[in-house]
Amino acid sequence: MVGITGANGAVGRAILRLAARGETAVLDVVALVRSERAAEALRPVVGPTGRVARVSYGEPASLDAALAPVAAIVHLAGVLVERPDSSYEEAHVDTTRRVVEAGRRSGVEKLVLVSAVGADAASANRYWRTKGEAETVARASGLACTVLRVPLLLGRGTEGAVALARHLRRGRAALPGGGRTLQQPLDVDDLARAALTAADPRVAAGRTLELVGPVSLPARALVERAARLAGRRLRIRSVPTGFLRLALAIRQRLAGPGFSPDALEVLTTDTRVDPAPAAKTLGLVLTGLDDMIRHSLETDARP
């Protein structure tokens, strides 16, 4: 049985759908969520062999109970945009530490940590730094561990899909730096399959894999491609990155947590990675870019 933290997000839901449809070797899952509302929403998704457990990362007993029957954990918790109740340190490092501690107490064999391309415990960027610190915690856990570093995600329920759908609905897109940043999007279902494959203790233990999509292209080209596939006209406007960075720094100083210069840097840093090594290790045939876009738009970006 595999435990899925952050199971109510786009990746968690993709994992639950795959398991419920019998499309993976792993069929038995425990979806860990923090609210009763999320638990109610997931009960129809988990299928007959899955279950939902409500947990609190501040209450070790709740994690222990949820993980008692679990052999592996896929840890998905994380945020790009901080909130007053969820800093990068809390969402990335603290949750990983608590899941690791509960996993050790419960006899879990394997931990799969979904991280981010660019994660680095020495980074000046707090998002990447805390992602890197979470990786350090995972590797030192004593559990067999695989780290999956991922880029922008597309497909059902993802933030990337939401953004594409919004641009096409409005007929316009304002892109930082004119959309010159290279993106290498990954289909959320490919990540779900990869995470469940890596949950096997024999697969990629001790490895850090950069799991990216098959094509790296400028953000502007991605948006234009989506417009062509949808048969829509789209007007693209450039927003100076320096102006955005300054405006976000002022907003952060006055209003506190929210979309920040660190988050902007993540979204405007090039991603250009060889997709072959991770795909080969995990036995994946990566979804093509046009199909990713179709998956995003066909579902109207809903989970």
Has residue 114 been placed in a domain?
A: yes
Name the one residue in this structure whose structure tokens are 């939902």.
52
Residue 238 per-residue DSSP state: E
What pTM did the predictor assign?
0.95
User: 100 near 138, Cβ under 8 Å?
Assistant: yes
From the centroid of its chain, how far is CA 92?
A: 12
Has residue 35 been placed in a domain?
A: yes
Q: What is the pLDDT of residue 301?
A: 46
Helix (H, G, I), strand (E, B) or coil at 199: coil
Q: Which of 160, 191, 155 is nearest to 278 (CA)?
A: 191
Has residue 278 been placed in a domain?
A: yes
Provide the domain limits for residue 23: 2-151+186-212+272-285
Q: At what angle do helices 95-106 and 126-139 cross, to 10 degrees?
A: 10
Has residue 233 been placed in a domain?
A: no
* Inter-CA distances, 68 with 36, 221, 226, 259, 298, Å: 20, 47, 44, 37, 38
Which DSSP helix (H) or strand (E) runs through 170? Answer: helix 159-170
Has residue 247 been placed in a domain?
A: no
H helix runs in the chain, sequence order: 10-20, 36-42, 60-67, 88, 95-106, 126-139, 159-170, 188-198, 219-230, 241-255, 261-267, 276-282, 289-298
- Beta-carbon contacts of 21 under 8 Å, excluding residues fewer than 6 positions away, are 47
Q: Encoding tokens for residue 245?
A: 């960075």
CA–CA distance, 275 with 149 (Å, rounded to integer): 11
Name the one residue in this structure whose structure tokens are 């979204």.
267
Q: What is the pLDDT of residue 146?
A: 99
Has residue 253 been placed in a domain?
A: no
Has residue 203 been placed in a domain?
A: yes
Has residue 221 been placed in a domain?
A: no
* Inter-CA distances, 65 with 12, 60, 126, 238, 275, Å: 20, 9, 32, 51, 38
Q: Is 237 exposed, middle or buried (0-12, 13-18, 19+ CB in 10 A)?
A: exposed
User: 268 near 177, Cβ under 8 Å?
Assistant: yes
Task: Supply the CATH number for residue 98's domain.
Answer: 3.40.50.720
pLDDT averaged over consecutive 10-residue blocks of the chain (303 residues)? Answer: 96 94 81 95 88 95 96 95 95 98 97 98 98 98 98 96 96 97 98 97 97 99 98 96 95 92 97 98 98 86 49
User: 183 near 152, Cβ under 8 Å?
Assistant: yes
Burial 18-54 (b: 16+ CB within 10 A, else e): bbbeeebebbebbbbbbeeebbeebeebbbeebbbbb
From the centroid of its chain, how far is CA 200?
A: 20
Q: Encoding tokens for residue 213?
A: 């999509």
> Total domain count for the chain?
1
Q: What is the pLDDT of residue 299?
A: 59
